[in-house]
Homo-oligomer: A and B are copies of this chain.
Amino acid sequence: MASTPTSVPAPKTNRLGLQVLDYRGGKTTLCAGCGHNAISERVIDALYEMGVKPERVLKLSGIGCSSKTPAYFVSRAHSFNSLHGRMPSIATGAVLANRSMLSLGVSGDGDTASIGMGQFVHLMRRNLPIIYIIEDNGVYGLTKGQFSATADLGSKQKTGVINDLPAIDTCTLAIQMGATFVGRSFSGDKKQLLTMLKAAIAHRGTVMLDVISPCVTFNDHEGSTKSYKYVMDHEEPIAEAGFVPHFEDIAVEYDPGTTFDVRMHDGSHLRLRKLHEDYDPTNKIKAVESLMEAHEKGEVLTGVFYIDTQKPNFVDLLHMTDTPLAQMPQEALRPPKRVLDEVMESLR
């Protein structure tokens, strides 16, 4: 009896028949317990559960511990670990060259809010179709813990130095500059982050997610507002997102009585559970207001603050052909001789 083999259950697969293993990346080299690792895992889950083909994903990042993470998920996707603060421009070029890919940009708070501010703002303004994740720990992890521009006023460095400059709220900024799906979550909040990411995958414009992600080595102690403890104490979710993909119904999980539906471009729905009365994620002004108020109260609002599914994205604005530009054949790209003749004639 002991010798009869027990039947092994078939590994779980998604709609493409791929296992979660097919979305794995290389072994992380980040510190044990780094919030960034948790985010990488959620990205894997989201892509797997949404059934996105690894080969159709573009991973883009800048420089920093956070920007290293694309090496730790979905090895089967092309990845561009670019320069400090320059991921937005690389991403823009890549998206224009191949509009058919799902682009995932990973950045850090230093990479985005300090050296990358200019490119960040202009990517948001273009509403480039991309999921832009800021793994936000308020410090420069890779260079050993100096303050970034999202470090909260008064937070303390291990060395004891206190930050005396105000924090930049990347969510408010993103909303005002033109991003069409803006939210904030916490690396430790598996459920919320996963649902947000899944919703993000269905969006067709700039998704900007600021994910608080504690740096256990340099910024996870008392006095730091980006520490696990601090966030757990001060986090106040305004809307818990439950995502309903159109190919997999998990609506049962949610109480229909208290839900607010947003129809996504791909026909799926993003369902927000209202915690605050009358919170409406389609109202830009209110979104900014709530963020500013929470900030004044020293609270970390999480959830999806703003969504606009109507605004054309950058690819739409450019009226490009559906075939990715990178895949156009020479015939389609080099006009015939008569065109040159015509031009030459006009110059005589």
Contacts and interface: CB of A to CB of B under 8 A. Distances in A.
Interface stretch (A173-181, A222-230, A339-347): A173-181
A57 interface: no
Classify chain A's interface size.
20 to 34
Interface in A104-118: 114-118
Interface stretch (A24-32, A47-55, A251-259, A288-296): A288-296
Interface in A137-193: 149, 164-166, 168-169, 172-173, 176-178
Nearest to A165: B125
A320 B235 CA distance: 37
Given A115-B118, A116-B118, A166-B178, 18 more contacts: A114-B122, A117-B118, A121-B121, A121-B168, A122-B149, A125-B149, A125-B168, A126-B165, A164-B317, A165-B178, A165-B317, A166-B177, A172-B176, A173-B173, A176-B176, A285-B293, A285-B296, A289-B289
A284 interface: yes
Contacts of A166: 125, 177-178
Most B-side CB within 10 Å, residue of A176, A178, A293, A296? A176
A117 B126 contact: no
A292 B177 CA distance: 12
A172 B117 CA distance: 16
A114 B125 CA distance: 11
Contacts of A149: 122, 125
